[in-house]
Amino acid sequence: MEDEEHDGGEVAPERRARQSVMSDVPIIPVIMFIVAPCALFLFTSDVTLPRIRIEYAGAPAVASAKEQPPLRQLTDRPYTLGPAVRDYDARRAAWLAAHPRFPAFVAPGRPRVLVVTGSSPRRCSSRDGDHLLLRAFKNKADYCRVHGFDIFYSNAVLDAEMSGFWTKLPLLRALMVAHPETELLWWVDSDAVFTDMLFEPPWGKYDRHNLVLPGWDDAVYGAKSWLGTNAGSFMIRNCQWSLDLLDAWAKMGPRGPVREHYGRVFGAALSNRAAYEADDQSAIVYLLVTQRGRWGDKVFLESSYVLHGFWKGIVDRYEELQSKWRPGLGDDRWPLVKHFVGCKPCGGQGATYGAAECRRGMERALNFADDQILKLYGFQHESLNTMAVHRVKNETGRPMDVDDEEIGRLLHPTFKAARLL
């Protein structure tokens, strides 16, 4: 304010003094003195500065060259899931003996089961994709809670070479060796839905088998059809045989030339299949067909109930099923699993069926399954086409006195009553 009081634009003595001091300082040399050491450090230091990668919501970021391993060539050493495991059965038996609090069988004839599922690490590109995946996971969690199973959900790609369909193999191998207490691992695709919440597989039927696949002997061994089974829902025992099978299976899965080569091999060896790149389902059929003597005796192809069922033709009949039968059958009258093959609930390329049709069918299947849970608490969906629910049982002041067989069957698996015939 004092400077502004001088007339005629005269500059105050104090300001003149400050300007004189500033004019005497060599500006450019000072800047060079500060900047030069920094530049020298950046160009000569071994310190790696952090990289910044921007990912836009809804669009997958392009991985850098350092993040993607080089494509494995046919002349390279065959792919392995990890170091070869030897004497696994004996080592696992010793571990179980040393940890009796974690038995592989939780009751006589009842194995400890780990249901394994997962989805892409990326956000879905479709509008409803993430919501459908959430509901599909909730469906699996409900089924596991009812039956006392453990569950593991993965949205990580453990090995970039094993992308796409093949991501399940490194995951299953990692879970086996990390959980010796688990007797059976049950892989279920993210777009597969449990629709019979009461039915439980007949475990004793598989005592002498290590891999349970949905399918038929005639279709796999006779017709050599890659559609003779489905890799969207299967069970595998935690043992040396299974680790060896996973290693043999995975050799055909690395992305690039190896996967393309085996795709041509499958096209020539299997029926109803073109020579596109190798998928895990064709690979397991190829192993069974070409090496039946090594693997076949320990593989059970299950067709007595719906371990995997195609969704078309059933999602519009759920009301009919409800009027005729009850859960606990697991077969075509009340299927255990329905798999939305040909749909892409998360979006992306390659869908066989329209998004609206798939979304409607998946929502009906999820509501059909969810009704079996909601009824335990006195509620039900108003229809299978809506998320809205309404009360179907009157509340009572003496709930423990209610004689409800379904509660005994579903709500308390430890004390579950005998299975319905």
What is the per-residue pLDDT across 93-122, written as a single tens digit (0 to 9) for each?
A: 999 999 999 999 999 999 999 999 999 999
- DSSP assignments along 282-316, one per residue: HHHHHHHHHSHHHHGGGEEEE-SS-SS-BSTTTTT
Q: pLDDT tens for residues 31-73?
A: 455 555 544 444 444 443 333 333 334 434 444 445 677 899 9
- 153 is in which domain, residue-wise? 88-415
Q: Is residue 60 part of a domain?
A: no
Q: Is residue 5 part of a domain?
A: no
Mean pLDDT value of segment 129-146: 96
* Residue 375 and residue 145 in contact, taking contact as beta carbons nearer than 8 Å: no
Smallest Cα–Cα separation from 141: which of 186, 200, 194, 214?
Answer: 194
Q: What is the pLDDT of residue 148?
A: 92
Q: Please state the domain count of the chain.
A: 1
Q: pLDDT tens for residues 189-217?
A: 999 999 999 999 999 999 999 999 999 99
For residue 346, give the DSSP letter.
T
Q: Is residue 100 part of a domain?
A: yes
Place of tokens 């798999």: 339
pTM of the model: 0.81
Q: Is residue 55 part of a domain?
A: no
Q: CATH number of the domain that 408 lies in? A: 3.90.550.10
Look over the chain and give the mean of its residue pLDDT values, rounded to a whole number.
85
In which band, very low, low, confident or very high, does the pLDDT at 316 lie, cut at 50, 70 and 90? very high
Q: Is residue 253 part of a domain?
A: yes
**Tokens found for residue 73:** 């060539």
Q: What is the pLDDT of residue 208?
A: 97
Q: What is the pLDDT of residue 15?
A: 45
Q: Is residue 408 part of a domain?
A: yes
Q: Which of the pair, 130 or 56, is modelled with greater confidence?
A: 130
Q: What is the pLDDT of residue 40?
A: 47
Q: Is residue 264 part of a domain?
A: yes
Q: Is residue 74 part of a domain?
A: no
- DSSP assignments along 242-253, one per residue: HHHHHHHHHTT-
Q: pLDDT tens for residues 395-417?
A: 877 776 666 666 666 665 555 53
